[in-house]
């Protein structure tokens, strides 16, 4: 039976061995007629990416989205990239307009392309934009019970959330959503996978002229309420690793924020 996970085009293959060399677990070996694929692997996609003649297709990895590298489209100036990292800010004041579908799709693409441990790619993303008002209403109505539950379990978040509830009730501020038009949840039990995806998404949002805010508080609130996770359509056993507000900033920063000097050891 032909292997449908790894399709080798023998007409194109020049048996150069680059796929064998780049297969880090050493699964692919060189046979008499080119590379031999063992039948199972972690699907990292390196063999297809490194092939100089594009002879390998991995149907499970959405081959239509694979792009050919060209310096003009891909190479980034390191100083400019670093300056974007320096100038990105957590945004707590947003314009009212919705995030455009084009920008949303670029931001989610960044999340999709982020690395995952053992290349499991099990992270999923929930975007709340159209339903945000309904979700916020539900969340604030649940808040007193959520805070009581946190107090009972000795959670240190309880006092901050009580203050947030006071701010909301007095009309002073919504410290959970600020005035963001959307938020994105990163769903996975691997916090490293989530952090990397979130960080890449935040940088692409910055490049789109949008901004984000990691909200640890919002993550705790939503995670603690089956009503809220139910509204989001999450199944039992799924975990929220990151909650990030998203929108176009209503604030601009004419300079970068200061940072402490790094603690680096060189040996
Ligand atoms: C994991 C994480 C959780 C955070 N949670 C919150 C939060 O609940 N509320 C908030 O206003 N900011 C939150 N922040 C934003 C930080 O306060 C912010 O990143 C920090 O002050 C540095 O500011 P900058 O991101 O603009 O450089 C969080 C940031 C991270 C990385």
Round the average pLDDT of the chain to a whole number and report it.
95
Which letter, b or e, does each residue of 194-215 get, where b requires 16 or more Cβ atoms within 10 Å of its Cβ? bebbbbbbbbbbbebebbbbbb
- Please give the domain boundaries of the chain with CATH numbers for all domains: 7-65 (3.30.70.20), 78-247 (3.40.109.10)
For ligand 1, the distance from its centroid to the CA atom of residue 198, given in whole angstroms, is: 12
Q: Which residue has the tokens 């601009």?
A: 252
Q: Is 14 exposed, middle or buried (0-12, 13-18, 19+ CB in 10 A)?
A: exposed
pTM: 0.94
Closest CA to 56 of 13, 16, 17: 13
Residue nearest to atom 12 of ligand 1 (CA): 215
Q: How far is Cα 169 from Cα 157, in angstroms, rounded to an integer?
A: 18
Summarised one tens digit per residue, pLDDT across range 154-202 is 999 999 999 999 999 999 999 999 999 999 999 999 999 999 999 999 9
Summarised one tens digit per residue, pLDDT across range 85-133 is 999 999 999 999 999 999 999 999 999 999 999 999 999 999 999 999 9
Ligand 1 binding pocket includes 157 (Cβ within 6 Å): no
Residue 1 has pLDDT above 50, yes or no: no
Closest CA to 126 of 175, 174, 177, 182: 182
Residue nearest to atom 27 of ligand 1 (CA): 89
């Amino acid at each position: 039976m032909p292997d449908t996970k790894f399709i080798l085009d023998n007409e194109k293959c020049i048996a150069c061995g680059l796929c064998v060399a780049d297969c880090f677990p050493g699964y692919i070996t060189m046979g008499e007629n080119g590379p031999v694929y063992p039948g199972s692997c972690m699907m990292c996609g390196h063999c297809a990416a490194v092939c100089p003649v594009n002879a390998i297709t991995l149907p499970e990895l959405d081959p239509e989205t694979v792009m050919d590298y060209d310096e003009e489209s891909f190479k980034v100036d390191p100083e400019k990239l670093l300056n974007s990292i320096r100038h990105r800010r957590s945004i707590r004041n947003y314009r009212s307009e919705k995030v455009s579908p084009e920008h949303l799709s670029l931001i989610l693409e960044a999340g999709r392309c982020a690395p995952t441990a053992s290349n499991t790619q099990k992270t999923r993303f929930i975007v709340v934009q159209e339903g945000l008002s309904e979700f916020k209403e539900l969340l604030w109505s649940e808040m007193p019970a959520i805070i009581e539950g946190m107090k009972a379990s000795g959670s240190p978040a309880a006092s901050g959330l009580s203050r947030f509830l006071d701010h909301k009730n007095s009309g002073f501020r919504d410290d959970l959503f600020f005035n963001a038009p959307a938020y994105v949840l990163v769903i996975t039990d691997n916090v490293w996978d989530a952090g990397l995806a979130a960080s890449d998404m935040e940088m692409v949002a910055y490049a789109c002229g949008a901004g984000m805010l990691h909200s640890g508080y919002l993550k705790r609130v939503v995670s603690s309420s089956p009503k809220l996770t139910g509204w989001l359509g999450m199944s039992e056993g799924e975990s929220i690793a990151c909650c990030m507000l998203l929108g176009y900033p209503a604030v601009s920063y004419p300079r970068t924020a200061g940072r402490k000097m790094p603690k680096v050891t060189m040996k």
